[in-house]
Structure 1
Amino acid sequence: MTPRFSEALWTAGAAALAVCVSAPVAAQSLNERTAISGLPLEGPRASMQIEHVDLAIQVLPDQRRIEGSADYTINVSDRLEQLQFDLDPRYAVSRVAVGGAELPASAISNPDGLLTLVLSDAVEAGETVAVSITYAGSPHVARNAPWDGGIVWSEHEGQPWIATAFQGEGCDMLWPCIDNFTHRVDTIETRWTVPGGLVATGNGVLVSENDNGDGTTTFHWRARDPSNYGVVLQIGPYELAERMYESRYGNTIPIRFWHLPGNGKDARRLVRETETYLDFFETLIGPYPFGDEKAGIVETPHLGMEHQTINAYGNRYRPDPLGYDWLLHHEFAHEWFANQLTHASVNHMWLHEGIGTWMQPLYLGWMHGEMYYTSEMWRQRQMINSRVPLVPPEGQLPDYNDREAGWGSDIYAKGSWVMHTLRYLVGEDVTFTSLTRLTYGTDTPVPGQIEPVTRTTDDYRLILEEMTGENLEWFFDAYFYQPELPRLVSARDGDVLTLRWETPSALDFEMPLDVVVDGVEQRVEMPGGTAQMSLPRADAHVLVDPRNQILMYDEAIARWQESR
């Protein structure tokens, strides 16, 4: 997701028929269940795997309405007498067929966003069943996309310019799906029908573009393993800038940017810039996961979102003194950290946002030198709140938009800084090799053999412990499961320096420290979270953590934050 804090601070500072079975709810309200993405997989939803879906939606901009149909191939792991999908109840469901037989209206209900289909004959475990759903309605209008999601009905020079963004709310705002981060459709066909003269972009590869002879055009896309919230409508009077990228892994990746008329020069510049992003990520992490499809970008009337292979871009091509487009880079990082590696629940969202955010200073240092890396890390350090745990307990649903708690910004900046500190603790090789293993499930990913993975924070800890042979629970507990940052307490008594870590954790925080004494640097181990040093003299100059590699409480930053 686009970081809420970045829009101002990074840019300024770094620069959904006639016969209704279920009636839709009031146009402006958002159903409580629909508003939440990632609800636990329970009942039939836990036993349904959507192997394939053919999703066809006609978009009617003048009516601000969509008419959709979805044909599913579903494998079930348990005997089911019902099937269930998540779908915003504002949509009217007019027809459902299971195994080719149409269900009566009495077998279809969706009062609260859980579309329930009562079967006349149960589906047995291991069987595959075909389901067809026809629905229509007016999608929820986004109040502030992408953070408060929905559809955006906009215009460009009198022509419709439309986008959807609903990471926080989920796929059920657009189509009947299983709205859980751990559930990914194996393959999806999307057929977007739009008024003639408009272009409808999509996930994966373009199969066909057909003039229907009635003033509409249908764009047929095909994608594999899409992230559910990444299946979106992005429509406009687009033109295309494109380029082929020769990967260091031997494959060729099409870079395609659908932009508004008049923005071709800037779009071509960002296409070239995207080549450097590809080189960076493939060098540091591994091959672009969707190289057999595309690296896609589309200009949108909202700021941005990481829609798989078709990232939304709305940063208006703003110049940046750092020499890159921070928004485009951040959303592109999510192709690895969100679309390839997907968190198991929203509680582990830092895996998307924190690692993705850390990629930005790393990229700047890779392109321009250490000063750029250091300055961006310092900017991020000022944004850390640490009022609530970075990984809230399971069962507690964190509120991204709660600015008082600050979790919605900590998952970016604090997550990035935890990675910065981890790099110091375990070293360069372990850090980046661990990220490759975390992201692909192997140390040696190969294009064409990459499948998405679902991860938790503990998954990452286990990878690191396997690689280092060390127990790292103390590190993960202090930084992810405790709200407050570790504090370093130091005291001098003559020529003796005492150092002690304090954290809310019950585990000793044994972070070693680099200490410079009169210009001479040494590594100080902290068994039990404490250490004593003998100084050459009582007035020796002591500098702890000289390169600011450890995320710890900083009194000056705390005072500054309190004064704002």
Structure 2
Amino acid sequence: MKKFFSTFLFSILAFAASSQVLSNKEKYTEADTLRGSLRAERAYDALKYHLKLKVDPSEKYIGGSNVITFKMEQKLPTMQIDLFENMNIDSIVFHRKNLEYNRKYNAVFVEFEEALAKNTTDSLEFFYSGHPIVAKNAPWDGGFVWTEDEDGNPWVGVAVQGTGASLWYPNKDHQSDEPDGVQLDIAVPNGLMNVSNGRMIGKKDLGNGYTEWSWKTVNPINNYDVMINIANYEHFSDKFQDLTLDYYVLPYNLDKAKKQFKEVQDMMECFYDKMGPYPFVEDGYKLVETPYLGMEHQSAVAYGNKYMKGYLGRDLSGTGVGLKWDYIIIHESGHEWYGNSITAKDIADMWIHEGFTTYTEAIYTECGWGKEAALKYIKGQRKNIQNRETIIGDYGVNAEGSGDMYYKGSNLLNTIRSIYDDDELWWNTLRDYTATYKHKVIKTQTVEDFFNKPVETDLQPVFDQYLRHSRIPELQFKKDGKTFAYRWRADVEGFDMPVDVFIDGKETRLKPTTEWKKLDKKVSSEDSIKLNDLEFYVNMSFK
């Protein structure tokens, strides 16, 4: 998590839990490039991961293997597979032979005896073990959480978004490449359960004091979403239409969970209506109680909000609206559509995950309490925005942009909706977006082009100002005879964007540019002009 020093960090990253690498560095290292760039050694498509692991909570130790199935995108003599350097490599087996390899930082360079030909599909088994990094303060920093529940039973969780899935298992650790599916065979001490992504396909007593729990997904999945959750869980279930809803909680929280998780029904009804169907119906939806606040682990959403409304009983918007619903349920589930289904190719574009998901909080508010409440909530989010650094980060070096990607991203989307000035068109466009790019990896420009197409207004300058510059545009007025003149002050050359203001209480749409325009209405004083600041996130001033 990027080093922030004000109360802003507590609020915006009070649950920017999914961001552990917020960093606009002045200098990047070779390790950053190895992780963040699509080098020649990464010219392969990871098709499937099959993890087979034994987890020992008493020793904080894991050991086993990952069978990596891949397809070559070009002829390749050397393959880069990522695994943190503190983890041991026991062997890497290909066609029953041990391969040679070299390590550099958190990258492993595997040498094939003969270069693999383009379009070859094959697999290797990567055996490894060790003590994975322990999170100091999950989910804000990456790693394992080894703790106990109130009854003294082991309780284990992992949160690695940003830090990297290669913290605990070998993989091609780049967001651009999602395996088409994963299988996890996780052995844990008898009496405990492991819950992972997808559907449970088996449970087997290994006869050595361990039970193996097997889970499998059939949909593409982000590396950082692949997950294990170990505890003495109780399970209960429900359904929404054709979607199975499964819940795994600690036994003494069962009654609270059955009450709190009823909100999932309302959430699904809202999200289906506004955003389209759940993207991973085949893998089901789960909430899994974790010893940390939460994370958007695909089809196995981590929940640690202690069965409270808001964010641990607080409202991050400061409006009171955020206390009407459970922040972790809504925000983390929203990521199933934005982040898990639609994924940014490079983490520099993580606003594609976080801006849209933060906006889902307002979507849910609007479904339950109306548009005015949603607009109030979005406006309240602005107190968490710093406007000091750009939302988009540096490409190819494993670096996100600023934490403004959350609430500034949400306010950008609300501003674009206001530019549309047609709610039916807005919701149709949002649903089309989630359907068009379902299970796809995209870039920021893809988003810009999609939302630009339905409207006559060119939104490119708007995206450029909010995403690629730190400041927001300023609507300036100055006295001009018996009326006023107005213009935009912005970083984007020739910036123009429609905006709504109230003049003597009547709403009026202005179309300012960076050149002064005369207001075609007689205005008695500055006080007669008010910005529609519920719908537009801009500054306004009088010269």
TM-score normalised by length of structure 1: 0.85
Taking structure 1 as reference, are residues 529 and 339 closer, same or farther at Cα in structure 2, changes over 3 Å only? farther
Task: Give the whole-Å Cα distance in 2 for the aligned partners of 1:546 and 1:119.
Answer: 63
**What does 1:494-513 correspond to in 2, within 5 Å?**
494-506=481-493, 508-513=494-499
- Partner residue of 1:385? 386
Query: Displacement, 1:154?
Result: 0.6
* Residue 529 of structure 2 is aligned to residue 543 of structure 1: yes
2:229 paired with 1:234: yes
Cα distance, 1:420 vs structure 2: 0.8
Equivalent residues of 1:48, 1:76 under 8 A apart: yes
Do the aligned residues in 2 keep the contact of 1:489 with 1:500 (CA within 8 Å)?
yes
Query: In 1, Cα distance between the equivalents of 2:70 and 2:416?
Result: 42
- Tell me the distance in 1 between the aligned counterparts of 2:123 and 2:182: 14
Q: Choose which of 293, 299, 310 in structure 1 pairs with 2:283.
A: 293
From 411, 424, 433, the equivalent of 2:428 is: 433
**Whole-angstrom distance in 2 between the partners of 1:37 and 1:7:** 29
Alignment partner, residue 394 of structure 1 = 395
Which of these residues, 152, 164, 169, is aligned with residue 163 of structure 2? 169
Aligned pair count reads 512
Partner secondary structure for residue 468 of structure 1: coil
Separation of aligned partners in 2, 1:552 and 1:471: 17
Q: Does 1:94 align with 2:90?
A: yes
Question: Aligned residues: percent identity?
Answer: 27
Distance 2:515 2:535 in 1: 17
Query: TM (normalized to structure 2)?
Result: 0.88
Residues in 2 aligned to 1:64 and 1:87: alpha-carbon distance in whole angstroms: 18
460, 466, 473: which is aligned to 1:486? 473
Secondary structure at 1:97's aligned position in 2? strand
Q: Deviations over 1:526-552 (max 9, x none)?
A: 245543114345358523333532111
Q: Does the aligned pair in 2 maintain the 1:33–1:113 contact within 8 Å?
A: no
Give the CA deviation at 1:37.
Answer: 9.4
Aligned to 1:411: 405
Please give the residue correspondences for 1:272-351 in structure 2 after superposition, counting only pairs within 5 Å: 272-320=262-310, 322-351=323-352
Give unmatched runs, 5+ long, in structure 1. Answer: 14-31, 247-251, 401-406, 443-450, 557-564
In 1, distance between residues paired with 2:526 and 2:195?
64
Secondary structure of 1:62 counterpart: coil
* Structure ranking higher on relative contact order (CA contacts 8 Å, 6+ apart): 2
Q: What is the alpha-carbon distance in structure 2 between the residues aligned to residue 392 and residue 136 of structure 1?
A: 34
Q: Unpaired runs of 5+ in structure 2?
A: 16-28, 311-319
CA contact (8 A) 1:242 1:268 kept: no
1:416 Cα offset (Å) = 0.6
Aligned to 1:361: 362
Whole-angstrom distance in 1 between the partners of 2:459 and 2:341? 25
CA RMSD of aligned residues (A): 2.6
Q: Is the 8 A contact 1:486 1:501 kept in 2?
A: yes
The alpha-carbon distance between structure 1 residues 534 and 151, as it changes in their structure 2 partners (threshold 3 A), is same
Counterpart of 2:68, as a letter, is: Y
Is the deviation greater in 266-275 or in 305-314?
266-275
TM-fit CA distance, 1:141 = 0.6
Deviations 1:49-77 (A, max 9, x none): 12222111110111110012112222112
Q: Deviations over 1:186-237 (max 9, x none)?
A: 1211101000111100111110111222221111011131110001121111
> Aligned partners of 1:162 and 1:543: how far apart in 2?
57
Contact kept, 8 Å, 1:509 with 1:529, in 2: the verdict is no
> Counterparts of 1:430 and 1:540 in 2: how far apart (Å)?
34
Q: In the alignment, is the contact (CA less than 8 A) between 2:38 and 2:396 conserved in 1?
A: no
- The amino acid across from 1:260 in the alignment is L
Cα distance in structure 2, aligned partners of 1:41 and 1:537: 57
Instruction: Write the distance in 1 (CA, Å) between the matches of 2:487 and 2:194.
Output: 59
Which residue does the alignment assign to 1:26? none
Structure 2 counterpart of 1:42, one-letter code: R
- The verdict on how the C-alpha distance between 1:397 and 1:241 changes in structure 2, with shifts beyond 3 A counting, is same
